[in-house]
Structure 1
Amino acid sequence: MPLWGFLLSFLAAAMWAASPIMVNYGLAISKCSIHEVNPFRAAVFFVTSLIIALIYNGGHITPVTSPLIYFYLFAGVSAGYLLGDLFYFIAIREIGVSLAVPIANGYPILVIFTSWILLGEPVTMKLLWGVVVVVSGILLLRFGGEKIKEPDDAADALHNKRRLMKGFAFAIATGCFWALSAPMTKLVIITSGLGPVEVTFYRSFAFLVISIVARIVTVKYRTTATIPLRSVRPAAAMYFAAAAFIGLCLGSIVYAACLVVMPVAIVTAITATSPLIAALFGHFALKERLLKLQWTGIVLIIAGSVAVGI
């Protein structure tokens, strides 16, 4: 495995740490719902991926006609970008960047299982140790925080507890869907023979189609949960666009390039170091307070995720 593959994996981790922070900023200043995020992300992701693919391939993009490849594309994108990221944004809204990002990024543990089932990649004895370490880290994040004085109102206290549990549940669900998406991307690369840039373009196309369909369904059946896209503040739209360019476009190209020369489990283990970057930003920039036990939990999640893949 080449050194540049490891370095690019860490670069992808940094990009993926920055992306949800940008989305969180956009949601905060616009007061829009999470349902307005994906249309902006999908459009920017598609346009930038198309431009990069055309430049990289000299104006030509290899056509894909295999139904199986499109199945892998749409299944992986639906699991990762639609459901996984949707739950991710909900988790960040409920419990903040510093907690949601580390929990969700414990997903390499699950990637071991999905890669074994879908790709036949081996499962080693280190898996059990990694599971114990990651779960220990999640428990420290959940129960190692500062004891907040309960509100006098019992209803408010119950609401706060439910919100915390809801955030943790959505963060864990995020990891599950991301774990399903990772080997699907590898299957696209294996079955199509496409390079990282073209794979990213086709993933952006799938995401655009899925986002359009999801937006139509959401507006029709959950009207009160959405606002018109034209009502989203330009500054928020810029944050969503920047998040898409850095996290989805560039991050996906770098990630796909790593998958060409490295096993899925190793790449996802390295990229799982992004929680530390996000937690540091959440602590210093967003003033999200974490105690020593919770920082220990973040380190354990990263250590366990990395260890199972190396």
Structure 2
Amino acid sequence: MAESMLFAVNKVNQRNDILPNVTLGVELRNDCSDEGLALWTTNTLVGSVGDLEYKDACPYQSRDGNRLGVQPIGIVGTSRSTTSLFAAKSSGVYHVPLVSYTATSDELSDAKRFPYFLRTVPPDKFQAIAIVDLLLHFHWEYIALFYSIDTYGIHGAKHIRTLAENAGICIAVNFPVASFDSESQTSDIVSKLQEANKVNVIVIMSYRNTANVVLQAMKESNLKDIILLLVVMDGEVMSKKMATLIQYTGVYLCVFTAALTKLFVSIMTNSQKTLQHPPNGIETF
């Protein structure tokens, strides 16, 4: 991602037909997917916090070393909804726009709270609509819903529950999952799945770490022929651990994004035999 940013900025600066007489500068920071660090990092860019630590950073000095006192005109990031909440709140105080490329939480759609937040991806409510449409299309009307305890999972699950209830879909299991793995939590998930033994469709809205907790419980429950709609948060990709757990659970997997709903439905419509006898494998869309 950092290399792509530098490449794009250099290409724009080399051209005379884009932003003539303007030279773009860029400064790269890492929030380490931590809310506190995202807040502090944003403040060091747009405010006075951490000024001494970054006194030599672009774009605050001219060639002769004098302070320019120029603030960034915008921030690109962060990649996660949880960190974007803090970064957008901080940048908004200084009227500096923050544009995220993968933060999808509906909480960030509140223009009163985040007037300077923008994004290049749709919010989660559209994913919820697409998921429920998918469930209705294939007559999957008895499901389990697991979600992470964060802004993405809580708001996304809320939308799914509301739409599912209106559509007559029964959510037999509605369970919030913490990102850390523990024996008690895994045991609770296993118990929930065993109680609702007629569920054959499981929806998970979470980060990868939280999804792994649910997948581990599914493995221990010895579930078979499960259709899994895995909505991984903020554009995260599948990890090796996640792929391994899925292979041991014997599910038919969809790594789901709202933008590919029509393609997914088309492929699934032509795979009814596969749905009736799910393979022990992975399908990614």
TM-score, normalized by length of structure 1?
0.21
More strand by share: 2
Higher-Rg member (1/2):
2
Report the TM-score when normalising by structure 2: 0.23
Q: Which has the higher helix share?
A: 1
